Amino acid sequence: MKKVISVILALTLCIGCMFSFTSCSEDKTDAKYKIGIVQLVEHVALDAATEGFKQAIIDELGEDAVEFDLQNGQGDAATCSTIANQFVSNNVDLIMANATPALQAAAAATGDIPILGTSVTEYGVALEIKDFGGTVGGNISGTSDLAPLDKQAAMITEWCPEAKTVGLLYCSKEANSQYQVDVVKAELEKKGITAKLYPFTDSNDLAQICTTAADNCDVIYVPTDNTVAENTGIIDNICEPKKIPVIAGEEGICSGCGIATLSISYYDLGYTTGKMAVRILKDGADISTMPIEYAEKQTPKYNKQNCEALGLTPLEGYTAIEAN
């Protein structure tokens, strides 16, 4: 009888262990990667980057394997910081920071959770890294939306060969905007063209500064600037009646107020960022050794409606921006 009881107990323990093991296995299988996305603000370029990022991860891991927490910073750096700190409290597996202020907020919030930036122009400038060599190190990497600035400067003279003075319009709060206009200014001055900086603080003084630039310049250049991207209507309403052409740093801005741009696909940029996330989460890649990645292709594009309004003939090799 004792032997029978012992056998029964042993079988019970074995079955219990089997159920326990099965339960643990199911928990691990059902567990989702938690990814926090802090996006500075809603506009066409950043929205596309976020969608590309999410789709790349879904394509690689499946929709059921990941939980996205997408938060909008409403264009405010302090709000981005609050969001990033909440992600840290929630112990997310990875943070995607969309735009420079979002990246800066995430970097300040954690040195442990992997952070991937996107729609960031120059990581050395954004993170104040001297002699930046292309790899951030630590817990940060990502993708850059930088299109060759020398080629953008060349576009200005190609489209407006008679221009003597170029106004560089940008938000002074965005470090990467300052970087871009400084480079473009230097490139224009090499060509003997006068380049004047027109920084504005936020949307409240944009109209005033833009009007001053349009009254004193032959053409205006705007970089990949999030505040500009949110307020292209203000620029267009000022520059078009004055017949002042605008060369833009990216397609979304160009479609709102420009005549031409050297465009990258922000969706593709986000998709590349998502593939980097998969390598970190699934394959165990060391983010500290992952160099910043760049858009592989830049496409010259023009805004048909604005060109017609200004009486400009599109240059050969430029593709019309598709109407939304």
Give the model confidence (pLDDT) of 204-231 as tens digits: 999 999 999 999 999 999 999 999 999 9
Judge contact between 69 and 253, C-beta under 8 A. no
Phi-psi map region of 41: left, alpha, beta (phi>0 left; psi -120 to 50 alpha):
beta
pLDDT at 52 over 60: yes
Tokens found for residue 211? 């009007």
CATH number of 149-263+299-320: 3.40.50.2300
pLDDT digits (tens, 9 = 90+) for 110-154: 999 999 999 999 999 999 999 999 999 999 999 999 889 999 999
What is the CATH topology of the domain spanning 32-145+265-291?
A: Rossmann fold (3.40.50)
Average of pLDDT values for 298-319? 96
Mean of pLDDT values over 160-165: 96
Residue 295: per-residue pLDDT: 87
Average pLDDT of the residues of the chain: 91
Residue 301's contacts (CB-CB under 8 Å, 6 or more residues apart) are 251, 254, 260, 261, 262, 263, 318, 319, 320, 321
Looking up tokens 């009881």 gives 5
Residue 16 has pLDDT above 60, yes or no: no
**Which pLDDT belongs to residue 7?**
41
Q: What's the pLDDT band for 20 if we cut at 50, 70, 90?
A: very low
pLDDT value at position 30?
58
Tell me what pLDDT residue 147 has. Answer: 87
The average pLDDT across 287-303 equals 94
**Token output for 66:** 């990941």
Q: What percent of the chain has pLDDT over 70?
A: 90
The answer to whether the CB of 153 falls within 8 A of the CB of 188 is yes
pLDDT band at 50 (very low <50, low <70, confident <90, very high): very high
For the chain, where do the domains classified as CATH 3.40.50.2300 start and end? Answer: 32-145+265-291, 149-263+299-320
pLDDT digits (tens, 9 = 90+) for 54-72: 999 999 999 999 999 999 9
pLDDT at position 324: 59
User: Across-strand partners of 197?
Assistant: 168
Q: What is the pLDDT of residue 263?
A: 85
